[in-house]
Structure 1
Amino acid sequence: MSQSPASAAHGAPAAPAPAAGGVEFTSGSIPRHLVRFAIPMLVGNALQTAYNIVNSIWVGNGLGTGALAAVTVSFPIFFLLMAISGGISQASSILAAQAYGARDHATVRRTLQNATLLNLAVAAGCLVAGHLGADWLLRRMQTPAEVFTLAHGYLQVFLWTTPFMFGLFQLASGLRAVGDSKTPLRFQGWALLATAALDPVLMFGWFGAPRLGLNGAAWATILTQGVALAALARHLLRSRSLVAPDLRGFRFDPAVCWLILKIGVPTMVQQGLVSVGMVVMISLVNGFGTIPAAAFGAAMRIDQFALLPAMTFSMAVSTLSGQNIGAGRFDRVPPVFWWGLVLSCSLTSVATGLAVLAPTWVLRLFTQDMAVLDAGIAYLRIVGPGYLLFTVMFIGTGVVNGAGHTVVTTGISLIGLWLVRLPLAAWLSARLGRVEGVWYGMLAGFAVGMVLSLLYYFSGRWRRPVLAQKP
């Protein structure tokens, strides 16, 4: 039996067996592994999306348009925080998956311990910077005066979720690296359901609770995420999981932290620029008036659900690829890619079919305005086929991410967005004089991203993995 790259690099033989609580993907049926691993993540992502919609309904209908606008204004800041935490968590997950595939459990633990410390340190920095800079940020975003006070107060409270959010992201990513997607779902699902139930209680003062208005939604998130983090950490410690946040014997390793940042920073940059790109895209749409803007808002809700299979199976493909690359089982990576493509495209094709063949039915879930419906139908019929292009792109980048080449996936994403989608959307919409030009720009961006992703995958350059090195 040949040594894995990780073991060979470390000059040590592989450990005899996977750790308790983990799932090894280096042997066995690939489609079965993908389905069993992806389904809990798909359910969790669907719950998160459903919660966002329910929360918008509570805020918009119960507190009014000002409160909904305050949440909307705050969203880019929340997205940036998630991008920062997600970058660190994803980087440590990539390294941990490769080490776990090589059965190098000491490197798995050392990587995740250092990532936890790094994530919490960054969370503390974001918390302080957010509180000090919230006023400046909101003014730079040209927040309307009637919304400013509400948004500022909401942000000041919500920022306290940062350490809990970063901690949960880190533990969930570590669990997925070792093949466990069910445990994160249990705790994530509980937290989302509890938050959805607690939101109206604290917002409207039900059952004798204080009436906190919009800030009640922030307090509900703080409470539930704090409890969820404590419960998950306790569960992992009691079960002696490889991922448990046990700092006994912990040794700060600058080399590991540097490698995490080297892999994670490109992801942070990508997500940050995607957030800015969405602001630019919304600005282009807003230039055509209220009807297209409302249609775009409704259609984006459909996009969220339609693209869930792509994002979920991309994470699954990344983990399976990472473990097999770490174990030196490069022969199993192409089947991971092809099965990921088949499974994700099968689900996405349902959403594409609904978007193209029954757009009115799905849009009526969000609006009854005929003018908005007509604009939304045009969007879905143009962009809907692009869901499949987006899915293919994400499966390809899933393999590339699994090898640790996040600079490449960042480049693919930014080329598709900043060099194709946005310029073409601006040019076509101006040339046509209609908002449909923006929709065609989006479709072209998906197509270019898919082509670049496939070109890099089939080039085989992902076979040079980024592995955590022992000192």
Structure 2
Amino acid sequence: MNQQFGKDLTTGSIPKHLIQFALPILIGNLLTTGYGIINTIWVGNLLGKEAVGAVAVSFPIYLALVALCSGTTLATSIMISEAYGAKDNPRIQKIVNHSWSIGIFIIVAVTVGGIAFSKSLLKLLGTPNDILPLATGYLRLTMLNFAGLYLSSLISSVLRGIGDTTIPLIFIILSTAVNAVLDPLLIIGLGPIPALSLNGAAIASFIATGTAVIPGFIYTKHKYKKEPLNPTAWEFEGQTVLEILKIGLPSFIQQMLVSMGYAFIISFVNRYGAAATAAFGIASRIDSLVAMPAMAVMMAVSAMTAQNIGAGKLQRIKEIMKYGIIINIPVILIISVLCILMPQDIMRIFVGEGDVIQTGAAYLKIVGPGYLFFTVFYVSNGIINGAGKTITTMAISFISLCMIRIPLADFLSKHSALGLNGIWLAIVISFAVTTLNSLLYNFFGNWKKDMHLSSTNVEH
């Protein structure tokens, strides 16, 4: 069967495919992150510290929603990629039907439950009483926006499964532009548009997400009307549901572990005062920015791995890993060198206080060289995820965060002369452990045996 739609990643230049796949994802992530920072600036300058506090206390819940969206839809992307590589259109249709059916169920459950229990969740997080009403209203609107977040992630995952990352980028650009215009407009009001304060920011996000979902749905419906990329029936067949959950749930848990790990580390940093907390907050943003190129390559590696496993072209997996690492090295190496040579200058971009700059500079000098581990473990994890072994990458994260980073950071900061620098060292050591464990499984894990069985099935 000849595949007439999507992008076949099982033939042609591997580095070219990786770059073409990863670049739109990277641009989309940068746009989303950049606008998140701009949105905070709007809220802070137009509404004040109470509004910023209301957004801040809601943020952990929002991160959990994003983790649920990306974790569940990652399974869709990986499974469609493998079926696409095998040119198994009935299988693709079954995955699409199940993904939409599961998605609608999750949307209804989370939205209804989230709106009903918003106030209780915020109280559980220790939200101060003076901002609780403001935060509750904002969080309820955010919960209402969960449907848009999930559906936009699902549509993008379906398209990524067939090798298309450019169209999802266009939807992100459209959504970001709409949000940028509506945010200040709905917050302060203009003419007949009433001033909606913080709720205006939430409503702007709701409308902007809709501008990504509706065109995305229409595009997929018309562009692929004869292809198995649109839902055609409600399906809840047990084996397929379990398969989606087996891949998606560990990814969700892995992202929640990262959030939990951050919460523990910042609690240790808080012992050293406000300057240390501020420095770590800024340094964490730098970590996120550095990781973005590697994460984009990881998603490209996952899709290519899944397609090539589906096609039975196992010999390309080693090449995918090699070129993924090579593509990662230049950007991350430059950033690492800058962190070692110019840490104070980097910190001054974000803050002017001398004590914060010095503390952050110490972080960058210690952690900066550790960024080089990103070049390897994100690619290695991408291979493992592409093989559908997300339970393994979840376990790797658990070992790194819960068994290494958190206890080691606590011990070194309390019981050694390193103090605060002990926390930074623990972070680097956890990067190294992640890399080592990922490579060990990549080279010696049983996933290769499963791949060969899958390849045999394709050939027959």
TM-score (norm 1): 0.92
1:308-457 equivalences in 2 (<5 Å): 308-431=292-415, 432=417, 434-457=419-442
1:12 is matched with which residue? none
- Taking the TM superposition and a 5 Å limit, the aligned residue runs for 1:85-164 are 85-164=69-148
Measured after TM superposition, the shift of residue 99 of structure 1 is 0.6
* Matched AA of 1:89: T
After TM superposition, the structure 1 stretch with the greater mean CA deviation from structure 2, 198-207 or 371-380, is 198-207
Give the secondary structure class of the aligned counterpart of 1:328: coil
8 A contact 1:266–1:410 mirrored in 2: yes
The answer to whether the aligner puts 1:247 opposite 2:231 as a matched pair is yes
Distance 1:134 1:72, change over 3 A: same
Distance change >3 Å, CA 229–CA 326, structure 1 → 2: same
Change (3 A) 1:180 1:17: same
Which deviates the most, 158-167 or 248-257? Answer: 248-257
Give how far 1:196 is off. 2.0
- In the alignment, the residues of structure 2 paired with residue 64 and residue 224 of structure 1 have an alpha-carbon distance, to the nearest angstrom, of 23
User: Does the residue aligned with 2:43 lie in a helix, a strand or coil?
Assistant: helix
1:197/1:321 CA distance change after superposition, 3 Å: same
Letter in 2 for 1:121: F
Q: Give the conservation status (yes or no) of the 8 Å contact 2:47–2:197.
A: yes
Which residue does 1:230 correspond to in 2?
A: 214
1:377 maps to amino acid: A
How many angstroms apart in 1 are the aligned matches of 2:46 and 2:69?
A: 31
Question: 1:309, 1:344 within 8 Å by CA — same for their partners in 2?
Answer: yes
Q: Kindly provide the CA deviation profile for residues 53-99 of structure 1, in whole angstroms up to 9, marking residues without a partner as x.
A: 11121122222222222212111101111111212100111111111
Q: Does the 8 Å CA contact 1:237/1:244 hold for their aligned counterparts?
A: no
The alpha-carbon deviation at position 212 of structure 1 amounts to 1.3
Q: Check whether the contact 1:109–1:242 (CA below 8 A) recurs between aligned residues.
A: no
In the alignment, residue 64 of structure 1 is paired with which amino acid?
G
AA of the residue aligned to 2:167: T
Alpha-carbon deviation of 1:141?
1.1
1:4 corresponding residue in structure 2: none
Cα shift at 1:254: 2.8
Q: Which residue of 2 aligns with 1:458?
A: 443
Query: For 1:202, what is the secondary structure of its paired residue?
Result: helix
Label 1:317 to 1:241 Cα distance change in 2 as closer, same or farther (>3 A).
Answer: farther
The answer to whether the aligner puts 1:194 opposite 2:194 as a matched pair is: no
Distance 2:276 2:106 in 1: 39
Q: What SS does the aligned partner of 1:107 have?
A: helix
Q: 1:178-189 residue pairs with structure 2 within 5 A?
A: 178-189=162-173
CA distance in 2, matches of 1:205, 1:163: 26
Distance of 1:304 and 1:401 partners within structure 2: 20
Moved more, 453-462 or 218-227: 453-462
**Residues in 2 aligned to 1:242 and 1:338: alpha-carbon distance in whole angstroms:** 37
Over 3 Å counting, the alpha-carbon distance change for 1:248 and 1:119 in structure 2 is closer
The answer for the alignment partner of 1:260 in structure 2 is: 244
**One-letter amino acid of the structure 2 residue matched with residue 450 of structure 1:** T
Residue 421 of structure 1: CA displacement? 0.5
Quick check: 1:386–1:443 contact (8 Å CA) kept in 2? yes
Asked if structure 2 preserves the Cα contact closer than 8 Å seen for 1:25 and 1:324, the reply is yes
Once the two structures are TM-superposed, the CA of residue 208 in structure 1 deviates from its matched residue by: 4.2
Query: Could you list the per-position Cα deviations for residues 115-169 of structure 1 after superposition, in whole angstroms to 9, with x for gaps in the alignment?
Result: 1121121111111121222222111111122222221111011111111110010
Q: Which runs of 5+ in 2 are unaligned?
A: none
Higher alpha-carbon deviation: 356-365 or 122-131 = 356-365
How far residue 369 of structure 1 moved from its aligned partner, in angstroms, is 1.1
SS at match of 2:164: coil
Alignment match, 2:16: 32
Count residues with an aligned counterpart. 454
Match of 1:170 among 137, 149, 154: 154
Counterpart secondary structure, 1:330 = coil
1:302-340 CA-to-partner distances (Å, cap 9, x unmatched) read 122111111110000000001001111110000000100
SS of equivalent residue, structure 2 residue 87? coil
Change in 2 beyond 3 A, CA 1:135/1:256: same
CA contact (8 A) 1:202 1:212 kept: yes
C-alpha deviation, 1:433, in angstroms:
6.6
Distance 1:139 1:287 in 2: 24
Q: Which structure 1 residue ranges, 5 or more long, are not aligned?
A: 1-15
Matched-pair identity in % = 38
Structure 1 segments (4+ residues) deviating >6 Å: 242-245
Note the C-alpha offset of 1:361: 2.3
Say if 1:69 and 1:244 are closer, same or farther in 2 by CA, change over 3 A: farther
Is the CA contact 2:171–2:211 (under 8 Å) kept in the aligned structure 1? no
Amino acid at match of 1:221: S
Q: Distance in 2 between matches of 1:354 and 1:460?
A: 36
Q: Give secondary structure in 1 for the equivalent of 2:315.
A: helix
Aligned partner (choices 39, 45, 56) of residue 40 of structure 2: 56
**Contact 1:59–1:68, Cα closer than 8 Å, also in 2:** yes
Aligned partner (choices 9, 23, 31) of residue 47 of structure 1: 31
